[in-house]
């Protein structure tokens, strides 16, 4: 590996000064993603404007054995785009062009730095939309969505990012440029595109991504339902699913999350509710005419204390604004919190919520629950006092106990946030040593030099176990450094 100065000199042959960031202030801005408990200052940040610059950069990193991390808007909540000590960050935000949009084939080909919501905005004049809608869709990028297989509130009906990406042009960590998939939904042979989705940057960097577009929804029916308990809200979800209906979305927020959202955006959620359930039906007018009476019957018998139907697009938008602001809004209750992301079988949702409540009491920590109820994807937000000795350690232990619970119930340690840095020590809760070894073999085939986002996802010698404290001494582990 060359010295920092020597490698920077090589980068200067690719990037002008304005797109090669070396100043301490710039490097601090990129030292964390959405999981700010981890922090590493990169050697440098490069800002490519063309695919050729990305390819040249990765070839250089491979040749000089310098690790790199590709990054979009930095909204990852698992430390997945955390820089590597002695490595560089490839910031893809200027690769933000929608290269093609074909309304006949219903596809869009985009660069990785395109903002999620901008795809729908571009498709809207053609009566089309891009379905995946993470809470951060106004700022998160398609490249990041692909890397972590992002979902969103409507993934219950429409699936994850991998269900909407049909082709990828990428540069692997070896410098080889590959193309997976095509313009058709019907693929031939192994589905390399799906394998690339959710690989968390361990294979290389996507340069162009072809997305499947869907027709705009004709009609919505959005209902906000208040309950006296999380368990009652969870049971309502089970009853709705058992009826045979497939809503576009079903989301639950508990009292803490409600209070935070109200303080932040004044969504008008009911006072005094221990939980609110958001149910959104969508489809044709004829379809909704059949489903609305059935939904109303289920909700009327669910023990709800209040049922409120959005009467227009403005009320619907306000209901969703409250839900989508929940993560950031919790910062009003506590500036220090951990966002978890585990999945339990839907049939055990009530049991899981009771256990999360019990664990919060055991560790003497408040937990705000926000989750995709339809597919059992929990997002407990664990609040702690960073200035109080031992508080963070208890929050970490509680977070781990929740992940263990999810795995024990037959679920997953992550639904859509990825493994990243945060959950890699829990990968063994879901997979055997043989399974993990096989995953590593796949990674090694794409990145034999181990330069593409190293230290993420896998436990063991490659990724020494870390506490979730970002700026404490870990130099001896050979992973983090402080300046």
pLDDT, averaged per 10 consecutive residues of the chain (483 residues), comes to 85 96 94 89 97 98 97 94 96 98 98 98 98 94 97 92 97 97 84 95 98 96 95 91 94 93 90 94 95 97 96 95 89 88 90 92 94 91 91 93 96 94 94 95 94 92 42 33 36
Topology, domain 219-328? Alpha-Beta Plaits (3.30.70)
8 A C-beta contact, residue 51 and residue 208: yes
- Per-residue pLDDT, 461: 59
Question: What tokens appear for 80 in the block?
Answer: 């997945």
Do the first three CATH levels of 103-215 and 219-328 match, i.e. the same topology?
A: no
> Which of 53-71 are b and which e, b meaning 16 or more Cβ less than 10 Å from the residue's Cβ?
bbbbbbbbbbeeebbbbbb
Distances (CA, A) of 225 to 195, 255, 262, 308, 378: 38, 13, 15, 6, 19
- Phi, psi angles (nearest 5°) of residue 329: -65, -30
**Of 185, 181, 189, 243, which is closest to residue 206 (Cα–Cα)?**
181
CATH tag, 103-215: 3.30.465.10
Rounded to whole angstroms, the Cα distance separating 175 from 182 reads 21
8 A C-beta contact, residue 450 and residue 456: no
Indicate the domain borders of the chain. Answer: 103-215, 219-328, 334-421
Other beta carbons within 10 Å of 483: 7
**Of 367, 365, 364, which is closest to residue 353 (Cα–Cα)?**
367
Q: How many helices (H) and strands (E) does the chain have?
A: 15, 19
The DSSP 8-state label assigned to residue 125 in this structure reads G
Rounded to whole angstroms, the Cα distance separating 44 from 135 reads 30
Q: How buried is residue 118: exposed, middle or buried, by Cβ count under 10 Å (0-12/13-18/19+)?
A: middle
- Per-residue pLDDT, 424: 94
- Per-residue pLDDT, 460: 67
Rounded to whole angstroms, the Cα distance separating 337 from 54 reads 35
CATH tag, 334-421: 3.30.70.2740
Residue 48: HSE in the Cβ half-sphere, 13 Å Cα cutoff = 26
Q: How buried is residue 460: exposed, middle or buried, by Cβ count under 10 Å (0-12/13-18/19+)?
A: middle
Rounded to whole angstroms, the Cα distance separating 193 from 182 reads 9
- Helix, strand, coil distribution of the chain in percent, nearest 5: 35, 20, 40
């Amino acid at each position: 590996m060359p010295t920092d100065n020597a490698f920077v000199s090589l980068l200067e042959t690719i990037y002008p000064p304005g797109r090669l960031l070396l100043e301490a202030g710039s490097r601090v801005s990129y030292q964390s993603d959405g999981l700010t408990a981890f922090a590493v200052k990169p050697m440098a940040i490069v800002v490519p404007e063309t695919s050729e610059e990305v390819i040249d950069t990765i070839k250089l990193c491979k040749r000089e054995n310098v690790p790199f991390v590709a990054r979009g808007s930095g909204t990852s909540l698992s430390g997945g785009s955390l820089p590597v000590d002695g490595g560089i960050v490839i910031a893809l935000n200027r690769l933000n062009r929608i290269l093609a949009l074909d309304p006949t084939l219903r596809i869009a080909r985009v660069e990785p730095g395109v903002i999620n919501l901008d795809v729908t905005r571009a498709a809207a004049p053609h009566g089309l939309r891009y379905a995946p809608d993470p809470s951060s869709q106004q700022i998160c990028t398609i490249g990041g969505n692909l890397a972590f297989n992002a979902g969103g509130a409507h993934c219950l009906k429409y699936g994850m990012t991998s269900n909407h990406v049909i082709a990828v042009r990428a540069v692997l960590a070896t410098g080889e440029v590959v193309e997976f998939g095509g313009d058709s939904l019907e693929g031939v042979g192994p589905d390399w595109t799906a394998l690339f989705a959710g690989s968390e940057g361990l294979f290389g960097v996507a340069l162009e991504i072809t997305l499947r577009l869907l027709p705009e929804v004709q009609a919505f029916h959005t209902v906000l339902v208040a309950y006296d308990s999380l368990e009652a809200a969870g049971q309502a979800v089970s009853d709705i699913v058992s009826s045979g209906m497939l809503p576009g979305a079903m989301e639950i927020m508990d009292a803490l999350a409600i209070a935070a959202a109200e303080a932040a955006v004044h969504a008008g959620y009911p006072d005094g509710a221990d939980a609110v359930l958001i149910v959104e039906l969508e489809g044709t007018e004829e379809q909704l005419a059949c489903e609305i009476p059935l939904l109303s019957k289920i909700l009327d018998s669910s023990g709800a204390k209040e049922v409120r139907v959005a009467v227009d697009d403005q009320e619907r938008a306000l209901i969703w604004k409250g839900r989508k602001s929940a993560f950031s809004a919790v910062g009003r209750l506590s500036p220090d919190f951990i966002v978890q992301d585990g999945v339990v079988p839907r049939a055990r949702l009530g049991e899981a919520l009771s256990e999360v409540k019990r664990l919060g009491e055991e560790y003497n920590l408040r937990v705000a629950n926000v989750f995709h109820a339809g597919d059992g994807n929990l997002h407990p937000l664990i609040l702690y006092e960073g200035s109080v000795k031992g508080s963070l350690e208890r929050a970490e232990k509680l977070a781990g106990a929740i992940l263990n619970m999810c795995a024990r119930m037959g679920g997953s340690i992550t639904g859509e946030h990825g493994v990243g840095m945060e959950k890699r020590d829990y990968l063994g809760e879901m997979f055997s040593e043989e399974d993990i070894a096989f995953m590593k073999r796949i990674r090694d085939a794409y990145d034999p030099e181990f330069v593409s986002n190293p230290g993420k996802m896998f436990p063991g010698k490659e990724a020494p176990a870390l506490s979730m404290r970002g700026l404490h001494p870990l130099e001896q582990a050979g992973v983090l450094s402080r300046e």
